[in-house]
Amino acid sequence: MKLRIWKDNTMIYGANALRMLINDSNSNFMLCSEEKDMNGISIYQFDILNLGDNYNSVVMFGKHESGIGFYLREVTKIKNEKFPRQHEFYAYTVKPRILGNVYQNPKLAGKWWNK
């Protein structure tokens, strides 16, 4: 299991992140999906992905419509659609591009993000 932690405006990876997870309950940890974006960068929980045509979603982990696991939560509203919609994480047809994450780029995450 790979993870990273956002703490005090710093992203922490590897063994240091694991130690923080065990010792600091106030850390914002993000699980790695084991998938990569179009540039070969690992995709983590709470990353903001562009899936083409200005269509952006946040990677989430937890219970959703199809069970428990990674899923995508839209941050780009599509006309006449229920918002925000949720989608299977592995259902995208284009290789996504990471735009940032909700901690470092909260404006990209949209108004529904309240962390």
Question: How many angstroms separate the CA atoms of 107 and 96, rounded?
Answer: 19
- Over residues 6-49, the pLDDT tens digits come to 988 899 998 898 888 888 877 889 999 999 999 999 999 999 99
pLDDT classification of 63: cutoffs 50, 70, 90: confident
Please calculate the CA angle 49-42-84 and round it to the nearest 5 degrees. 25
Nearest residue to 44 (alpha-carbon basis) of 87, 88, 95, 100: 100
- Over residues 83-97, the pLDDT tens digits come to 566 777 776 777 899
Which H or E run includes 23? helix 14-23
Global model pTM greater than 0.75: yes
Please calculate the CA angle 3-47-6 and round it to the nearest 5 degrees. 50
